[in-house]
Structure 1
Amino acid sequence: MSHDHDHDHDHDHGAPGRAPGRPEAGPHRPGGSGDDLGDRGAHHHSELGEMDLRVRALETVLTQKGYIDPAALAVLIDTYQTQIGPRNGARVVARAWADPAFADWLQRDASAAIAPLGYTGRQGEHMVAVFNTSAQHHLVVCTLCSCYPWPVLGLPPTWYKSAPYRARAVKDPLGVLADFGVQLPEGTAIRVWDSTAELRYLVIPQRPAGSAGLSEAALADLVTRDSMIGTGLAKAPAP
C-alpha cells in the first residue's frame, strides 16, 4: 500500500523556530481495536507536555482540598470525549451519506456546510472533509501537538495526543491502522493529513453495506469517533 502525507500549513503553537519535523516514534504502539467511541486502556501511553503537567498538578491540589470529585470529573470528561462531541460529527457524516448535495457541499467547503448544523466555534473555524473511498483511506494526525476539531469530535482522545501516535501515523500509517484493528483491502492508498492551528480535518468514512434505507439517525449510530479520524471504520448495521 502507498501513503501520502499532507503538511502544507505551518503550526502556530508557541514553538517559534521549530521545524515541522516528525518526532521519533516511541517503543510502543497505540493498542486496542479502536472500533468504539470510547478509549482503550492500551492507548494511554503518552508523554505529558508542560500544560498537561500543570493541569494534573492543579487537579491534584483541588482534589486534596475537596473542591472537586475525581470520579465525577472523569465521567464528565468521558461524556464530552466519547459521546457529545463525536455525535455531532456522526450527524455530519450521516447527512453526507444520505444527501448527495450536502456531500458535494461538504467536500467543496466543509466549514460552510457544517455551520448550519450548529457545530461551529473554537477549534473548528476552518474545516476540511476528506472522503474515504474503496481506493483511498484517509488518516488524520497532528504531528506537533493535538490540533483537533472539537465542535464535531469533542475532546481529543489521549492516544491522539501521544508522541508515538503522532510519529508513527506519518512514518508507518499501515502499522498504526493495524494496531487499531483496521485491515484495508490490498492496494488501498493511505493519505495522511496533518492538522494545524489553522485547519482541521474530518474523515468521512465509507458508508457500510446494508445501510440503504436507514434514517439519518440510524446512520449516525454507525459512525464511530475513530472512523472520523481514520483509525477506524464505520460499523456494519445490525442484521
Structure 2
Amino acid sequence: MAEHHHHDHAHAHAPIEDPRGPDTEDEFLEIALRELLVERGVLSAGAVHQQIDAMESRNPVLGAMAVARAWADPAFHEALLSNPLETLEQAFDLPMSGPVELKVLVNTPEVHNVVVCTLCSCYPRMLLGPPPAWYRASAYRSRIVREPRAVLSEFGLELPEDVEVRVSDSTADMRYLVLPLRPAGTDGWSMEALSSLVTRDCMIGTGVPRAASTVDS
C-alpha cells in the first residue's frame, strides 16, 4: 500500500535520469533572488558564498552520526523526534536552525518512509549536504509518488507487500530525514561502527542500512 503525503510547495542510480540537465527553473529563480539581494545590499556576495561553502561542506556522514546516536541513545532519539534542529545543534555544535523545519520520519517493521520534492529539489542539506543528481531528476520526482514500489525496486530495494510505503513531499519550509530501522545483530556496537552502516540513500528512503555482517564492529 502506498500513501502519498502531499504538502503545498512555495517553491546514482541509472534508472533515474533527467535529460534536461542542471538548468531547472528553481535554479534560475535562486540565482535571480540571490543577485537581487546582493544588488539591494541585503546580503554581500562574500556572505552568500560563505554560506554556500558552509552548506556544501556538509555531507551524509553527519546524518549517519545522528542516526547512529538515535539508535544507541533513547533520550537522544526522543529529543530528535520532538525538536530535531535544536537537538542536532547541541549534539554536533553546528548551526542547524534557519528558515526551514526538519521532521524525522521513523521507519518501523510495518512502515517504510521515502522522501521526495515533487516541484524542485528541497532536501535536508544541513545534514546530508547537496542532493544526489537522481533526487533532482524529474523522473524520480514524478514516479516515486505514482509508483513508489517500482522505483524502490530500481534502487534494489524490495519491500514485503505487507509493509506500507509512505511518500513525504518536501517543501520550501519543511525537510525530512528518514530514521531507518537499526540492523539486527548490532547490540553493543560502538557509535562509529553503527554509523558505518548508515548510507545516504537509507536516510532518504531509497535504501536500507548495510547489514551488520558487512562491517567489523
Return the TM-score normalized by structure 1. Answer: 0.71
Counterparts in 2 of 1:172 and 1:96: CA distance versus 1, 3 Å:
same
How far is the alpha carbon of 1:126 from its aligned partner?
Answer: 1.1
Show the counterpart of 2:32.
none
> Aligned match of 1:47 in 7, 15, 20?
20
Matched, 1:87 2:85: no
Q: Give the secondary-structure state (helix, strand or coil) at the position aligned to 2:193.
A: helix
AA of the residue aligned to 2:82: R
C-alpha distance in 2 between matches for 1:131 and 1:178:
21
Q: CA RMSD in A?
A: 2.5
Distance in 1, Cα, partners of 2:172 & 2:28: 22
**For 2:174, which of 180, 186, 199 is the aligned residue?**
199
Other structure's SS at 1:105 match: helix
Distance change (3 Å), C-alpha of 1:127 and 1:45: same
Relative distance call for 1:177 and 1:123 in structure 2 (3 A) is: farther
Aligned length: 187
Q: Helix, strand or coil: the match of 2:160?
A: coil
Indicate conservation of the 8 Å contact 1:123/1:150, yes or no. Answer: no
Whole-Å separation in 1 of the counterparts to 2:183 and 2:98 = 29
Structure 2 CA distance for partners of 1:141 and 1:51, relative to 1, 3 Å: closer
Structure 2 residue 146 is matched with structure 1 residue 146: no
- Identity %, equivalent residues: 44
Q: For 1:235 and 1:124, how far apart are their aligned partners in 2? A: 33
Corresponding residue number in structure 2 for 1:171: 146
Does the 8 A contact of 1:148 with 1:195 survive in 2? yes
Q: Quick one: distance in 2 between partners of 1:53 and 1:124?
A: 20
Could you tell me how far apart the structure 1 residues matched to 2:14 and 2:88 are? 32
The offset of 1:123, in angstroms, is 7.2
Q: CA deviation at 1:119?
A: 4.6
Distance in 1 separating the partners of 2:147 and 2:14:
22
Select the residue among 89, 112, 118 that pairs with 1:137: 112
Listed as ranges, the matches of 1:224-235 within 5 Å are 224-235=199-210
Matched ranges for 1:1-239 at <5 A: 2-8=1-7, 10-13=8-11, 39-48=12-21, 49-50=24-25, 84-116=58-90, 117-121=92-96, 125-238=100-213
Q: Is the 1:45–1:162 contact (alpha carbons within 8 Å) kept by the matching residues of 2? A: yes
CA contact (8 A) 2:115 2:167 kept: yes
Q: CA 1:121–1:107 in structure 2 vs 1: closer, same or farther (change >3 Å)?
A: closer
Post-superposition shift, 1:124? Answer: 7.8
Q: Name the CA distance, whole Å, in 1 between partners of 2:18 and 2:26.
A: 17
Alpha carbons of structure 1 residues 135 and 154: separation in structure 2 relative to 1, 3 Å = same
Structure 2: gaps (5+ residues): 30-52
When residues 124 and 102 of structure 1 are mapped into structure 2, their CA distance, relative to the original with a 3 A threshold, is farther
Q: Structure 1: how far apart are the matches of 2:134 and 2:109?
A: 27
Maintained 8 Å contact 2:119/2:141: yes
Match of 1:93, as an amino acid? V
CA drift of 1:114 comes to 1.5
Contact 1:140–1:230, Cα closer than 8 Å, also in 2: yes
TM-score scaled by length of structure 2:
0.78
**Maintained 8 Å contact 1:119/1:151:** no
